[in-house]
Amino acid sequence: MKTWKKCLLTLAASLAFGTVHAADVNTTGLAVTDTTVKVGILHSVTGTMSISETGSVQAEKMAIEQINAMGGVLGRKIEYIQEDGASDWPTFAEKSKKLLVNDKVAAVFGCWTSASRKAVLPIFEQYNGMLYYPTFYEGLEQSPNVIYTGQEATQQIIAGIDWVTKTKGAKSFYLLGSDYIWPRTSNKIARKHIEKLGLKVVGEEYYPLGHTQFNSVINKIKLNKPDVIYAIVVGGSNVAFYKQLKAAGIDMTKEKPLVLTISVTEDEILGIGGENMVGAYAAMKYFQSLPNENNKKFVADFKAMYGKDIVIGDVTQAAYLGPWLWKAAVEKAGSFDIDKVRAASPGIELTTAPEGYVKVHPNHHLWSKTRVGHARADGQYDVVFETKELIEPDPFPKGYQ
């Protein structure tokens, strides 16, 4: 009798939440039960990249909490297993294998640098996992096992350079970056586009992650007098670079030279200090100051969860999209199986995205707008430019490979 009642209660709960048995929505041995589904969160919460990646962790956890409050995914509450990549690429690879092989998670939300993504990519492809990667990056990649929720080069690098040349009349550029794949490849694309426009690159320098001595390159910049410092410095190095830039007498509000970055979001400015960043420009798809209703709610919810002084940058917002896009694909597929989720992903739309609206392209990148922000002393950006239309993602642009 007790068994019969228990079966009735299970059936009633299943009908109430629209769930079906795990065996029907999970045929490949993932960590899915009749009531829960496990996912992974893999970011650096220690080391030089923690200044950038902490916001991604917060956003992913908030999205998961909100999804669970709505009843979860296919009637199952999401449980997450968090791992620390520790700003070390081999560690990212090791932790990604643990999440996929040992923990059998249904999806992973993670990575920040292209170096960490490249380190984990073979593992996701070998073990058929699904990674939701939130960072703007250099493009030149398309994997069936990755959904790229940040922008690629045509949506950020090329669009940003077009803006600064047309709007500010820039003719010469000094390219500066951290020494790994994303800044180097991004600057390779930037150089090709600058030269394609008939303009000049007057210098190009790279420094290791965590580097803090930029006085030598700042002196070179002052000697070369570029119209634009095109900066792709990442992580904690940004704190030293912008403080030293100001100490060297470069007033970014005068725009001689103008600073255009594709790596400094509101998250990094929190560490740099708004007073050291005021006057710089950033080419991104999202800024906390966006006035749309979706974003107002997102910002309010984020501050309610993490404190009124918290800030939200481009990658943090893109990280927030990951769990929602995964939820939509799973529900469209009616399954947690990776192959079915992959097949269901193209065409997924989010009308509630804080940036406004996004749609998954068949190449696994998102349609999105490009915006340019002007840094304020309070650590926020004023949006001074926005493309009229969504830009179709093109991770392999002709002539830039």
**Residue 400's pLDDT band (boundaries 50, 70, 90)?**
confident
Q: What is the pLDDT of residue 20?
A: 76
Q: What is the pLDDT of residues 383-395, one digit of tens each?
A: 999 999 999 999 9
What DSSP character marks residue 28? S
Residue reference for tokens 């992959």: 342
The beta strand positions in 239-286, using DSSP E, are: 258-261, 281-284
pLDDT of residue 4: 38
Taken in order 238, 308, 328, 37, is the CA torsion positive or negative?
positive
Burial class (CB in 10 A: 0-12, 13-18, 19+), 21: exposed
Burial of 249 per CB tally in 10 Å (0-12, 13-18, 19+): exposed
Closest CA to 394 of 182, 151, 161: 151
Is the pTM value of this prediction over 0.85?
yes
Q: For residue range 320-362, list pLDDT tens digits in order.
A: 999 999 999 999 999 999 999 999 999 999 999 999 999 999 9
CA–CA distance, 239 with 249 (Å, rounded to integer): 16
Under a CB-based contact definition with an 8 Å cutoff, are residues 99 and 30 in contact? no
Q: How far apart are CA 92 and CA 117, in angstroms?
A: 8
The per-residue pLDDT for range 148-187, each reduced to its tens digit, is: 999 999 999 999 999 999 999 999 999 999 999 999 999 9
> Residue 212's pLDDT is what?
96
Q: State yes or no: pLDDT of 10 exceeds 90.
A: no
**Residue 29 CB: number of other CB atoms within 10 A?**
8
- On the question of pLDDT at 19 being above 80, the answer is no
Whole-number pLDDT of residue 168: 98
Question: Quick one: pLDDT at residue 181?
Answer: 93
Least confident of 49-53, 86-90, 164-168, 330-334: 49-53
